[in-house]
């Protein structure tokens, strides 16, 4: 469920995208204590000169990371996620921490359907996984 959308006018290499995907997947799995198979990362490249902050063109290095996650994480968990995503993304891209803006938005688990099933509350993933059809359960276990 956690869907991370990275938007930037910066041209990212395949290696940079892979690094960001690995980083965000690991951060979410550790800090939000969620299965890796839930983590999705989407890249949106926007046209240079089409992003503005305060009425002025944003830096060409500017990166926005927008995350929709299941509600139920603590303030401390979210703070760690925000800081780690900022630091690791800026390191991977070789840009300033100030050019990485991260947003985390909570969505109730009952408001999300993936893999043909409404998602569980945080901490109830094992029971949810056990109730899935065996082929899907095995597919998700392999992704973990």
Question: What rounded mean pLDDT belongs to the chain?
Answer: 94
As a whole number, mean pLDDT of residues 40-69 equals 94
For residue 5, name the pLDDT band (cuts at 50, 70, 90): very high
As a whole number, mean pLDDT of residues 135-142 equals 88
Question: CA torsion sign, 81 to 82 to 88 to 92?
Answer: positive
Write the pLDDT tens digit of every residue in 85-95: 999 999 999 99
Residue 58 has pLDDT above 70, yes or no: yes
As a whole number, mean pLDDT of residues 21-41 equals 95
Strand pairing partners for 44? Answer: 7
pLDDT at 1: 80
pLDDT at 144: 66
Residue 7 has pLDDT above 80, yes or no: yes
Residue 11 has pLDDT above 90, yes or no: yes
pLDDT at 114: 87
pLDDT at 57: 93
Selected residue with higher pLDDT from 45 and 143: 45
As a whole number, mean pLDDT of residues 61-76 equals 96
pLDDT at 141: 84
């Amino acid at each position: 469920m956690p869907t991370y959308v990275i938007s930037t006018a910066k041209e990212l290499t395949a290696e940079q995208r892979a690094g960001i995907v690995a980083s965000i997947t690991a951060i979410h799995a550790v800090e939000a204590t969620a299965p890796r198979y839930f983590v999705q990362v989407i890249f949106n490249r926007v046209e240079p000169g089409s992003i503005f902050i305060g009425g002025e063109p944003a830096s060409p290095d500017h990166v926005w990371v927008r995350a929709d996650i299941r509600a139920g994480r603590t303030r401390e968990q979210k703070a760690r996620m925000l800081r780690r995503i900022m630091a690791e993304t800026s390191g991977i891209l070789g840009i300033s921490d100030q050019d990485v803006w991260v947003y985390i938005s909570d969505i109730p688990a009952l408001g999300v359907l993936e893999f043909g099933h409404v998602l569980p509350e945080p901490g109830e993933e094992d029971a949810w996984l056990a109730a899935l059809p065996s082929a899907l359960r095995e597919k998700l276990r392999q992704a973990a």
